[in-house]
């Protein structure tokens, strides 16, 4: 049932974003012109330090970065919960996003911007941005796991504990879930690899897929782990004085 629901969501996302991409690529010229104006402006105002910074920023969701980070997240989830469902969910987050991105890109004919491009990539693969979609799913998934780990620590303590490492990691992960996709989106446009609407579509694909996996698979799986956690024994009842 879970697999069917996620397949249906993936199919809907492919359909919706294929239609949106087709509309952008062959619809109102004003949208395409505005897209191109932004990319051309960045291409005409490139500076040395931003070239270096955006080259580094792109690696936040490079293919090998995503693969390595997903493997680490899956391993950490498996070690923490001693169950296979959460590691599978971690892999599904990025693998499902990749499948949606690839199929949508095949169905939408939109080349990359006609400016000097600073990274290697298929010239025809302009829409959507897989880097941005991957950043949303990867760092959003880390934030979901970290927030759950922090909540579980508080529940296990029984009383509000002092702020610990888990809480700091959860706060950092939440910040990264917002900032990393924004950084990657800027880098991809700045380096001439995508139009602004391409990175926007990538962000929406990633956000929708993350929400779907979190609702259908992650939340029930995390709840099941919590249900298996030993509960603290209730305090003994006071006996009445005779």
pLDDT digits (tens, 9 = 90+) for 64-90: 999 999 999 999 888 877 778 888 889
In angstroms, the CA 99 to CA 74 distance is 19
Q: What is the mean pLDDT of residues 224-234?
A: 54
Q: Which residues 6+ apart lie within 8 Å of 137 measured at CB?
A: 93, 94, 97, 206, 209, 210
pTM (two decimals): 0.88
- Within a 10 A sphere around the Cβ of 13, how many other Cβ atoms? 21
Residue 235 counted as domain residue = no
- State residue 137 phi and psi, 5-degree precision: -70, -45
In a domain, 69, yes or no: yes
Give a yes or no: residue 241 inside a domain: no
Asked if residue 209 is part of any domain, the answer here is yes
Averaged over 132-151, what is the pLDDT? 91
How many domains does the chain divide into? 1
Q: pLDDT tens-digit profile of 90-108?
A: 999 999 999 999 999 999 9
Range of the domain at 146: 2-227
232 falls within a domain = no
237 in a structural domain? no
pLDDT higher than threshold 50 for residue 241: no
Distance of CA 98 to the CA centre of its chain: 11
Q: Work out the pLDDT band at 242, boundaries 50, 70, 90.
A: very low
Instruction: Note whether residue 83 is domain-resident.
Output: yes
* CA dihedral of residues 36, 42, 45, 49 (deg, nearest 10): -160
**Does residue 234 fall inside a structural domain?**
no
pLDDT of residue 183: 98
C-alpha 237/C-alpha 242 separation (Å) is 15
């Amino acid at each position: 049932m879970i697999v069917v629901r996620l397949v249906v969501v993936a199919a809907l996302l492919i359909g919706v974003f294929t239609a949106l991409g087709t509309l952008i690529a062959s619809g109102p010229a004003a949208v395409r012109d505005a897209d191109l104006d932004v990319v051309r402006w960045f291409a005409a105002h490139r500076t040395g330090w931003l070239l270096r910074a955006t080259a580094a920023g792109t690696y936040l969701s490079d293919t090998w970065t995503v693969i390595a980070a997903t493997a680490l997240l899956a391993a950490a989830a498996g070690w923490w919960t001693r169950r296979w469902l959460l590691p599978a969910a971690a892999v599904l987050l990025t693998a499902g996003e990749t499948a949606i991105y690839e199929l949508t890109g095949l169905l939408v004919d939109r080349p990359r911007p006609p400016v000097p491009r600073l990274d290697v990539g298929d010239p025809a693969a302009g829409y959507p941005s897989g880097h941005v979609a991957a950043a949303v799913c990867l760092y959003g998934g880390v934030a979901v796991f970290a927030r759950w780990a922090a909540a579980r620590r508080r529940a296990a303590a029984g009383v509000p504990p002092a702020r610990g490492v888990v809480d700091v990691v959860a706060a950092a992960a939440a910040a990264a879930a917002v900032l990393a996709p924004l950084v990657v989106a800027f880098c991809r446009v700045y380096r001439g690899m995508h139009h602004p609407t391409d990175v926007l579509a990538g962000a929406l694909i990633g956000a929708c897929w993350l929400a779907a996996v979190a609702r259908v698979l992650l939340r029930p799986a995390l709840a099941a782990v919590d249900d298996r956690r030993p509960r603290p024994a209730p305090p003994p009842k006071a006996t009445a004085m005779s």
